[in-house]
Amino acid sequence: MALLKRKAEPAPDLAGEILKLRGQVEAFIDAKVAEAKSSRDGAGIPVNQLRHMLTHGDSCTCRAALNILMDEGTK
């Protein structure tokens, strides 16, 4: 019985896609921080503190971005 030989399909560049998405997530959070900084309430708060407040100190930017999006959906 002969084994069927399958042509190997090239693996998607998963690492590249992850890095691309990570950049988009960082840009989203940076934009939210800039938005908060430009508000009257956020003007006097340091950027690092605003970022910490916005992400709740979460080191996982994907989870933090999802939380921000969920919070926006409930407003």
Ordered mean pLDDT values, 10 residues apiece, the chain (75 residues):
62 85 97 97 96 95 95 81
17 found inside a domain: no
Whether 33 maps to a domain, the answer reads: yes
pLDDT in the model for residue 42: 95
Is residue 18 situated within a structural domain? no
Instruction: Say how many Å lie between the first and final Cα of the chain, rounded.
Output: 64
Query: Quick one: pLDDT at residue 13?
Result: 87
Domain for residue 48, yes or no?
Answer: yes
Domain assignment present for residue 49? The answer is yes
Q: CA-CA distance, 30 to 37, in Å (whole number)? A: 10
- The pLDDT value recorded for residue 65 is 96
Number of domains forming the structure of the chain: 1
Please report whether residue 42 resides in a domain: yes
58 is in which domain, residue-wise? 25-73
| Burial (CB count <10 Å: 0-12, 13-18, 19+), residue 28 | middle
User: Does residue 5 sit within a domain?
Assistant: no
What is the model's pTM? Answer: 0.77
Residue 51 lies in a domain: yes
